[in-house]
Amino acid sequence: MTVAFDIAILGAGPAGMAAAARATQLGASVVVLDEQASPGGQIYRNVDQASAAQHRILGPDYSHGHSLTQALRKSGAVHCAGATVWDVSRDGLVTYSKGGQPAQIRAKHLILATGATERPMPLPGWTLPGAMTAGAAQILLKSGALVARDPVLIGSGPLLYLLAAQMITAGRKPRAMIETQSRSDMWAARHDLPGALRGWRYLAKGAGLLTKIMAAGIPRYTAAREIALEGADTLTSVRFTSHGKPHEIATKTALLHHGVVPNTQISRALRLEHAYDQSQRCFVPQVDGLCLSSEPNISIAGDGAGIGGAKVAALSGEIAAFGAASRLGLITPQTQQAGVAPLQRKRQHELHARPFLDRAYPPATQSLSPADTTLICRCEEVTAGDIRRFAKLGCKGPNQAKAFGRAGMGPCQGRFCGLTVTELLAQETGQSQDDTGALRIRAPLKPVTLGELAAYDANSQET
Amino acid sequence: MQFHFEDRRLSAPRGATVASALLGAGITAFRETPVSGAARGPFCLMGACYDCLVSINGVTVQACMTPIEEGLQVCRVRPRLTENEDKA
């Protein structure tokens, strides 16, 4: 028999935790399913277990996660940890595996809070062991395993500076910053600066990080182009040009980052409406002011509905809880309005700096339109040139490209190639990204063993 | 905690994942790809990229999502090697 709840929340990051705390307060029975052993998501990963030294390295914005994990614990919501969700149906049936055992829960309303993933950054050699995402390095810091030695940080955006500053505090100074943004990007962002000044805390934090990086004497190479990661079996050096001048830096670790994008695996599998966001260069699920998606019983909160950061995610989690409770008839429209209005104002305030940041630190052109020989699908080892060739053969969308050459068919299910395939096809065909479309995502959302599938079959006989 | 990677004996702090334990021991190449046999290791460490696959008790698992346990035997995934062995 499946256990039934008013609301099932998928993901225990800031959006999911805030949604759970608020929804239980509004009278809903709530379950939160999350893949990790403890709540926090990627941003507040391990926040309850981290040592004092780790908190010092990661800073107060990380420690703030405590307030959310505590609220979740006190809320009375069921926290189903270590649960890998691999199927979700539109009518609220959630199938997951925990400790190798399959199980199901049913909910009247779903709140997807699946957060963000790193924007794929295809570069020559980005598959070499030793090349990782900046997010991966942060996960190591948060898990207390300080293993990245003398890394080179490559890409653009605030997270790259944050990581550099945290590594300096940890006594693991990065060897160099290879930054893809240039002065012309900052110039293009000048019109967004007045708006961003209203979100001055983000800008002040950024300035503080940069000051720290400069004071530590870390070389910064801006306007980096023609970046190539090199090595035979593992990474040994990074080659690039900066303002036209060639450079080579020996390193065993390169940390890549040029922004994060919504993790849309579940919203795509549910066939919810998505649209391409030109300013964030990614697909975003369509939600209304109450975080309700194109399906009335499914809400999406946090970075999974468009990148805004941890604070915006927590606020939108609360908004989604009001929206869901209202739809379930647990609160009056007046309560909903009174609850949501101040949250929306705060959320708007937190978003002030966003357009400036998006424009000043755009994704690296070299990775949005990689050279023909660059691998874009890591799993099936498909190159950008392959995708361009498929376009010339008449291929119009990523699902057809998958049939032509397997891009997106491997175990990651297109998580690290999907956006690149869409961008490449759009560039080649002249179609918009919306017309080009995205990979069709199907269950199982994560690989499951045959044993789990067999047990699932037996369990699905609902009573 | 003591564990094995192939025939090497290694140790890791409690609470580590297989991926962070191997990275801590300076090992970045965890497997070879089925397509070209190229070496691969962890990339995202959050369960999304499937590049850190290792074999434990004959089951292929994500090293970044698997907690390290005392006495664990971790092996490289070498699909092409296995295929050739089968043919031999």
Give yes or no: residues A293 and A235 share one domain.
no
Look at chain A and report how many structural domains it folds into.
3
Task: Mutation target for A interface from B50, B59, B77, B78: give the one with most A CBs within 10 A.
Answer: B50
Task: Mutation target for B interface from A98, A126, A379: give the one with most B CBs within 10 A.
Answer: A379
Inter-chain CB proximity A139 and B45 less than 8 Å: yes
Rounded to the nearest 5 percent, the helix, strand and coil shares of chain B are: 20, 30, 50
Q: What's the Cα-to-Cα distance from B3 to each of A167, A314, B17, B18, B56, rounded to whole Å?
A: 28, 39, 12, 9, 11
Task: Please give the Cα distance from B28 to A149 (Å, whole number).
Answer: 12
Task: Please give the Cα distance from B81 to A300 (Å, whole number).
Answer: 44
Set of chain B residues whose Cβ sits within 8 Å of the Cβ of A145: 13, 16, 20-21, 23-24
The tokens for A168 are: 């300096």
Give yes or no: residues A419 and A311 share one domain.
no
Residue B73 domain boundaries: 2-87
Give yes or no: residues A133 and A235 share one domain.
yes
The C-alpha of A257 sits at a distance from chain B's nearest C-alpha, in angstroms, of 11
- Comparing CB atoms, the residue among B20, B39, B53 nearest residue A143 is B20
| pLDDT computed for residue A100 by the predictor | 85
Domain at A286, CATH number: 3.50.50.60
The C-alpha of B17 sits at a distance from chain A's nearest C-alpha, in angstroms, of 9
Task: Mutation target for B interface from A35, A140, A265, A417: give the one with most B CBs within 10 A.
Answer: A140
A148, A252 contact by CB (below 8 A): no
- Comparing CB atoms, the residue among B41, B50, B65 nearest residue A129 is B41
Task: Please give the Cα distance from A376 to A435 (Å, whole number).
Answer: 21
Residue A11 counted as domain residue: yes
The identity of residue A319, as a single letter, is I
Residue A414 counted as domain residue: yes
A39, A14 contact by CB (below 8 A): no
Task: Please give the Cα distance from A79 to A11 (Å, whole number).
Answer: 10
| Spatial CA neighbour of A316 closest among A351, A284, A359 | A351
Set of chain A residues whose Cβ sits within 8 Å of the Cβ of B20: 140, 143, 145, 147
Other CB atoms within a 10 A radius of the CB of residue A191 amount to 11
| pLDDT computed for residue A453 by the predictor | 82
| pLDDT computed for residue A180 by the predictor | 97
Residue A168 counted as domain residue: yes
- A-B contacts (CB, under 8 Å): 93
pLDDT, greater one: B83 or A313: A313
Set of chain B residues whose Cβ sits within 8 Å of the Cβ of A132: 42-45
| Spatial CA neighbour of A243 closest among A180, A155, A188, A152 | A180
- Give B27's DSSP letter: -
Using DSSP, state whether B30 is helix, strand or coil. coil
| pLDDT computed for residue A461 by the predictor | 46
Inter-chain CB proximity B50 and A410 less than 8 Å: yes
Residue A344 counted as domain residue: no
- Comparing CB atoms, the residue among B13, B35, B44 nearest residue A136 is B44
pLDDT in tens, B33-82: 999 999 999 999 999 999 999 999 888 999 999 999 999 999 999 887 66
The identity of residue A256, as a single letter, is L
Task: Search chain B and give the residue with CA nearest A236.
Answer: B28
Set of chain A residues whose Cβ sits within 8 Å of the Cβ of B23: 140, 145, 147
- Give the end of a domain, one of A226, A258, A290: A258
Give yes or no: residues A282 and A239 share one domain.
no
| pLDDT computed for residue A225 by the predictor | 97
A352, A196 contact by CB (below 8 A): yes
Residue A359 counted as domain residue: no
Half-sphere exposure of A326 (CA within 13 A, CB side): 20
The C-alpha of B47 sits at a distance from chain A's nearest C-alpha, in angstroms, of 9
Residue A398 counted as domain residue: yes
Q: Distance of alpha carbon A441 from its chain centroid, rounded?
A: 17
| pLDDT computed for residue A238 by the predictor | 98
A422, A396 contact by CB (below 8 A): no
Half-sphere exposure of A227 (CA within 13 A, CB side): 28
- Comparing CB atoms, the residue among A35, A140, A144 nearest residue B45 is A140
Task: Please give the Cα distance from A120 to A117 (Å, whole number).
Answer: 9
Give yes or no: residues A140 and A246 share one domain.
yes
SS (H, E, C) chain A: CCEEEEEEEECCCHHHHHHHHHHHHCCCCEEEECCCCCCCCCCCCCCCCCCHHHHHHHCHHHHCHHHHHHHHHHHCCEEECCEEEEEECCCCEEEEEECCEEEEEEEEEEEECCCEEECCCCCCCCCCCCEEEHHHHHHHHHCCCCCCCCCEEEECCHHHHHHHHHHHHCCCCCCEEEECCCHHHHHHCHHHHHHHHCCHHHHHHHHHHHHHHHHCCCCEECCEEEEEEECCCCCCEEEEEECCEEEEEECCCEEEECCEEECCHHHHHCCCCEEEECCCCEEEECCCCCCECCCCCEEECHHHHCCCCHHHHHHHHHHHHHHHHHHCCCCCHHHHHHHHHHHHHHHHHHCCCHHHHHHHCCCCHHHHCCCCCCEEECCCCEEHHHHHHHHHCCCCCHHHHHHHHCCCCCCCCCCCCHHHHHHHHHHHHCCCHHHHCCCCCCCCCCCCCHHHHHHHHHHCCCC
| pLDDT computed for residue A324 by the predictor | 98
Give yes or no: residues A136 and A250 share one domain.
yes
Look at chain B and report how many structural domains it folds into.
1
The tokens for A140 are: 């190591």
| pLDDT computed for residue B84 by the predictor | 55
Set of chain A residues whose Cβ sits within 8 Å of the Cβ of B48: 117, 263, 412, 415-416
Domain at B82, CATH number: 3.10.20.440
Query: From the first residue on, what is the mean pLDDT of each consecutive set of 10 residues in chain A (463 residues)?
Result: 90 98 98 97 96 94 97 98 96 94 96 97 98 96 82 96 95 96 89 84 88 96 97 97 97 97 98 96 97 98 97 98 98 97 96 90 96 98 98 96 96 96 98 97 90 69 43
Give yes or no: residues A25 and A65 share one domain.
yes
Task: Search chain A and give the residue with CA nearest B30.
Answer: A129
A274, A264 contact by CB (below 8 A): yes
The identity of residue B77, as a single letter, is V
Phi, psi angles (nearest 5°) of residue B26: 80, 10
Using DSSP, state whether B83 is helix, strand or coil. helix
Task: Please give the Cα distance from A293 to A288 (Å, whole number).
Answer: 7
- Comparing CB atoms, the residue among B28, B35, B39 nearest residue A381 is B35
Inter-chain CB proximity A415 and B49 less than 8 Å: yes
Task: Search chain B and give the residue with CA nearest A252.
Answer: B28
Give yes or no: residues A412 and A382 share one domain.
yes
Residues of chain A contacting B, Cβ within 8 Å: 35, 37, 42, 49, 117-118, 127-133, 135-136, 139-140, 143-145, 147, 233-235, 252, 263, 378-381, 410-412, 415-416, 446-447, 449
Beta strand B53-56 pairing with B72-75: antiparallel
Task: Search chain B and give the residue with CA nearest A451.
Answer: B59
- Comparing CB atoms, the residue among B20, B30, B44 nearest residue A133 is B44
Task: Search chain A and give the residue with CA nearest B62.
Answer: A447
- Comparing CB atoms, the residue among B13, B47, B59 nearest residue A35 is B47
Residue A249 domain boundaries: 120-258
The C-alpha of A349 sits at a distance from chain B's nearest C-alpha, in angstroms, of 30
Residue A385 counted as domain residue: yes
Give yes or no: residues A252 and A288 share one domain.
no
Sorted by sequence, the CB contacts under 8 Å of residue A201 that are 6+ apart come out as none
